[in-house]
Amino acid sequence: MDLSLLKRRSEHEWVIEPHGAMRVPGVLFANEDLVRAMDHKVHEQVSNVATLPGIVAASLAMPDAHWGYGFAVGGVAAFDPDEGVVSAGGVGFDISCGVRCLRTRLRREHVEEKKKTLADALFRTIPAGVGSRGRIRLKAAEMDRMLGGGAQWAVESGWGERSDLERVEEGGRMRDARPEHVSERAKTRMRDEVGTLGSGNHYLEVQTVAEVHDAPAARAFGLEEGDVVVSIHCGSRGLGHQIGTEALKDMLTAGRRHAIRLPDRELACAPIHSREGRHYLGAMRAAINVALANRQVLTHLTREVFAEVLPEADLTLLYDVSHNTCKVETHEVDGRARELFVHRKGATRAWGPGHSELPGALRGVGQPVLIGGTMGTCSYVLVGTERGMKVSFGSACHGAGRGMSRHQARKRWQGREVVQELERRGILVRSPSLRGVAEEAPDAYKDVSAVVDATERAGLARRVARLVPMVTIKG
């Protein structure tokens, strides 16, 4: 990105002054290198979002921002409930895609001995990749209960423990979900997919804590150097995509009727109180529940595998975050508490210490912010900050972001070589698709450590621990 288009407010804050139809400024949180590396489309998309009706304060971009459909991935925007809009492109198509992290009470050296058995057992048990089916077949009534109940539904159906729920956003169940707003086609796509990982950049990893950056916070999170954890990255599968795609078309019609001028079709949105807006919100919340249920069922399957291979393990949730959502939250704007519809697309909610929605054990320290890396690199656990609550609606980055297209990656690497190279480094990769592995090669992604470093320096969240993979199950 051309730096002359930005005004530098501080070391890690860059402003796009309102121009054209922009109602508010754009703000990019990143260091100079990351901003330079961002393509011009991020500038255009952040500016486009700033033109939407009812946007509050600023259109934001996290340090890992890159091109997305309509809104940039890594975009955060809050809207006034009366004047504002909701946009499917502002949530993203994989609704409520996110990361869940489980502690195991096991140490690295102990798991190392059983690593291969563990990798093979996880690969047998966790449905992953194209054409895989879950263990659950949902009939209509049960489907609606899942859409309304999320991870709570999963726990009540025997897929987990009640204590899991307090470590999931919204207590494991998104309120105001409307299963009747979810189309039959979307439900059909989900019939066999609960408890499946999917493909693309989704994964399940056994990881070890390689480094602790913040000892008191790590203690509060129950993490120590050498501990083993499991991270699960996936979302609402085909259902979320179906809802997003249908809403895109629906909102284009609504936008025309409400005379919303759009510089890009993918920016389609509808007033929050319009029929289309309310319809999408009800369906989108049901899709959030699907993602929460999905990660809960995968948690249960993971526990089954550990019970068989490493029975001394005790898998408890550190936390579960979603990074593609629109949620109603209260934030202070210009000294006044306001209820806002906060879109986070490729951005993680990051509540600072003291937030009333955090469970007691975490309230003093802040929310765990789980940042997924790529296979073969590393992931991070961060913690929300007070500053983030003030400057980014309590939001932080979500991952590395691709640096290279799938096409380029496939030309550059062979899947088998990637697997062998990672095995030499002690990381066991299990995937049904070698081509998929090549397309997801670690070097096809940007450097997650640089993103996390900028997130910390911008004050959006603070590093707590760095995790490195031992086993990766790839879709």
CB-CB contact of 77 with 49 (8 Å): yes
Q: Which stretch binds other proteins (CB under 8 A): 67-75, 172-180, 326-334, 384-392?
A: 67-75
Nearer to other proteins, 171 or 263 (CB): 263
Q: Shortest gap between Cβ of 234 and other proteins (angstroms)?
A: 12
Q: Which of residues 68-127 bind other proteins (CB under 8 A)?
A: 69, 73, 93-94
Nearer to other proteins, 10 or 188 (CB): 188
DSSP codes joined into one string, 316-360 = EEEEEEESEEEEEEEEEETTEEEEEEEEEES-EE---TT-TTS-H
245 belongs to the binding site for other proteins (CB under 8 A): yes
Q: Which of residues 296-335 bind other proteins (CB under 8 A)?
A: none
Q: Could you say which of 23, 191, 355, 457 contacts other proteins (CB under 8 A)?
A: 191
Residue 112 CA to residue 89 CA, distance in Å, equals 42
Q: Could you say which of 43, 178, 189, 343 contacts other proteins (CB under 8 A)?
A: 189
Q: x-or-dash pattern for other proteins, window 377-406, by CB under 8 A?
A: ------------------------xx--xx
Q: Could you say which of 46, 56, 58, 66 contacts other proteins (CB under 8 A)?
A: 66
The Cβ of residue 244 has, within 10 Å, a number of other Cβ atoms equal to: 24
Q: Shortest gap between Cβ of 39 and other proteins (angstroms)?
A: 8
Q: Tell me how many residues contact other proteins (CB under 8 A).
A: 40
- Helix (H), strand (E) at residue 382: strand 379-384
Residue 308 CA to residue 310 CA, distance in Å, equals 6
CB-CB contact of 395 with 76 (8 Å): yes
Q: Shortest gap between Cβ of 65 and other proteins (angstroms)?
A: 12
CB-CB contact of 93 with 69 (8 Å): yes
Q: Could you say which of 10, 117, 163, 188 contacts other proteins (CB under 8 A)?
A: 188
| Residue 398 annotated as catalytic | yes
Residue 54 CA to residue 276 CA, distance in Å, equals 17
433 belongs to the binding site for other proteins (CB under 8 A): yes
Q: Which stretch binds other proteins (CB under 8 A): 17-25, 291-299, 386-394, 407-415?
A: 407-415
Q: Which of residues 262-281 bind other proteins (CB under 8 A)?
A: 265-266
CB-CB contact of 57 with 78 (8 Å): yes
Q: x-or-dash pattern for other proteins, window 220-239, by CB under 8 A?
A: ------------------x-
414 belongs to the binding site for other proteins (CB under 8 A): no
Q: CA of 151: how far to CAs of 269, 288, 324, in Å?
A: 29, 10, 17
Question: For residue 290, how far is the Cα from the chain centroid?
Answer: 14
198 belongs to the binding site for other proteins (CB under 8 A): yes
Give which of 229, 227, 234, 271 is closest to 253, Cα–Cα. Answer: 271
Residue 212 CA to residue 475 CA, distance in Å, equals 29
Where are the strands (E) in 166-323, listed by range? 203-212, 227-234, 269-271, 316-322
345 belongs to the binding site for other proteins (CB under 8 A): no
Active site residues: 398
Can you give the binding site for other proteins, defined by CB under 8 A? 66-67, 69, 73, 93-94, 129-131, 133, 185, 188-189, 191, 198-200, 238, 241-242, 244-245, 248-249, 265-266, 401-402, 405-408, 410, 432-436, 439, 475
